Amino acid sequence: MTDTVTATRATESVADFAARARAWLAENMPAIDPDHPPFSVRAEQASWDRAKELQKRLYEGGFAGICFPREYGGLGLDHAYQRAFNAECRRYEMPLILNVPTFTICAATILDVGSEAQKRDRISAAIRGDEILVQLLSEPSGGSDLAGVITRADHQDGKWIINGAKTWSTSAFAGDYGLLLARTDWTVPKHEGLTMFLVPLNSPGITMRRIKEVNGNEEFCEEFFDGLELGEDAVVGEVNKGWEVATRQLHHERRAVGGGSEFASGTAAENANEMPPDHVGLAEATGQGDDPRVQDLAGRALTHRIVKEQLIDHVFHAIADGSLPPNAGTLIRLFHAETTELEVDTALAIAGTAGVIDEGFEDAPDRTEFAEIGVRYLSRQTGSLGGGSSEMARNVIGERILGFPREAAADRGVPFNQVKRNKS
């Protein structure tokens, strides 16, 4: 980025910024059909290499990290500029798979609680398109209880030694650094003895394996740590205050999953599998366009889609002006999950058997769309699990937004080494 472009941004209006982006995008980014975006297979390294290439273009053109501070490689602009850019880039190929988890979750968390060196090095590297950041949180025996992690970090001779395992780590195979939550003190209650670490994923002591899902994808990974050594500078936040970091991380994840993060660049779905189903077109293709029942199903799904977009805008501004607490991002996360499930269920209900067997309708514009409906149905629950389960989201909304009494917990206040685990 040139000094001239950087200086211009200080006084540039949103309209002028949008006009400059419009011209630059037309000359520098590949054009696409926004209704049929290119398919990015998140389980393939080539998709991530392509995303990094596109991110480098954005950075060199002066349109990367719009809402991140300048001192860490961004533009230091407010969300109005990001929204304007999002409107302009709909018709161009963008590195959308970098939004989650690199920018909207990991970089946003490091910005909140990381050291100056971590912010300067990791955020700027991500914005340049040099690095991908991922999360290493869930564990094989942890379920939804993130605070119950048993991966341990022991301090020895000025180093941290990590032993344990993580699982369901999204796109970890493509990552350069991961935010890892580990237990550093077993003598205090579970929320008090955790520390967050920033881990270089090419380090000795890490074994990574891909997880094959029911739909055949291998996007998720499991990691095994055997004597992994980390320096003092790997700690994110403070030792034994990792839950504060994790809480902030979950805040960003819940907003990101629902589409409410100011750090997301671009607004289209990441690939064709994530585009909202065209229920009206599907009804017409199956000869049910005039069926009142099908019209009602399609209208209900469309209404939820519209309400979700309005909810994102409302919650974003309410958090910004303080009328809602930061945890209100969970409202977006929960409604996104419910809307996604309704969208997929409705598509399958309209498609019927064509959605699960290769017997599409001859007059359909694209018969392959019907087969994809059945595949998407297999993974419909992912929206209810990402960023914590929907059940956990309802607890957060009830207890931390509405002020309801907290649920009883047998391990609350009990030193973690005295908590009974894996016993009936």
For residues 321-349, b (16+ Cβ closer than 10 Å) or e, as one string?
eeebebbbbbbbbbbbbebbbbbbebbbb
Residues 6+ apart with CB under 8 A from 274: none
Nearest in space to 334 (alpha carbons), one of 260, 278, 245: 260
Q: In this predicted structure, what is the pLDDT of residue 376?
A: 82
Torsion of CA 84, 85, 86, 87, to 10 degrees: 60
Residue from 251, 229, 262, 240 nearest 187 by CA: 240
**CATH number attached to the domain at 12-99+116-130:** 1.10.540.10
CA distance 77 to 319: 18
SS3 338: helix
Single-letter residue type at 303: T
Using alpha carbons only, give the angle 10, 14, 17 rounded to the nearest 5 degrees: 70
CB 138 within 8 A of CB 115: no
Q: pLDDT tens for the chain, 424 residues: list them.
A: 545 355 445 579 999 999 999 999 999 999 998 877 787 888 999 999 999 999 999 999 999 999 999 999 999 999 999 999 999 999 999 999 999 999 999 999 999 999 999 999 999 999 999 999 999 999 998 777 889 999 999 999 999 999 999 999 999 999 999 999 999 999 999 999 999 999 999 999 999 999 998 778 899 999 999 999 999 999 999 999 999 999 999 888 877 776 668 898 986 555 444 667 888 888 888 889 899 999 999 999 999 999 998 998 898 889 889 999 888 888 988 998 899 899 999 999 998 887 777 655 555 544 446 767 887 888 888 778 877 788 988 998 999 899 999 888 888 899 999 988 765 4
Local structure of 304: helix, strand or coil: helix
| N residues, the chain | 424
What pLDDT is recorded for position 368?
A: 46
381: tokens are: 């629950």
- 375 in helix, strand or coil? helix
The pLDDT assigned to 4 comes to: 38
Strands 220-230 and 206-210: antiparallel
> Does domain 276-401 correspond to CATH entry 2.30.30?
no
CATH class in words for 135-241 = mainly beta
Under 8 Å between Cβ of 109 and 158: no
Task: Give the list of residues 6+ apart from residue 1 with CB closer than 8 angstroms, or none.
Answer: 59, 60, 61, 62
What pLDDT shows up at residue 275?
67
For Cα atoms 242, 107, 398, give the angle at the middle one, nearest 5 degrees: 55
pLDDT value of position 8: 47
* Residues 6+ away with beta carbon under 8 Å from 156: none
pLDDT of residue 214: 78
pLDDT at 97: 94
pLDDT at residue number 35: 74
Element (H, E) at 58: helix 45-61
Closest CA to 142 of 334, 385, 332: 385
- Write down the residue that tokens 């409906």 correspond to: 373
Domain ranges of the chain: 12-99+116-130, 135-241, 276-401
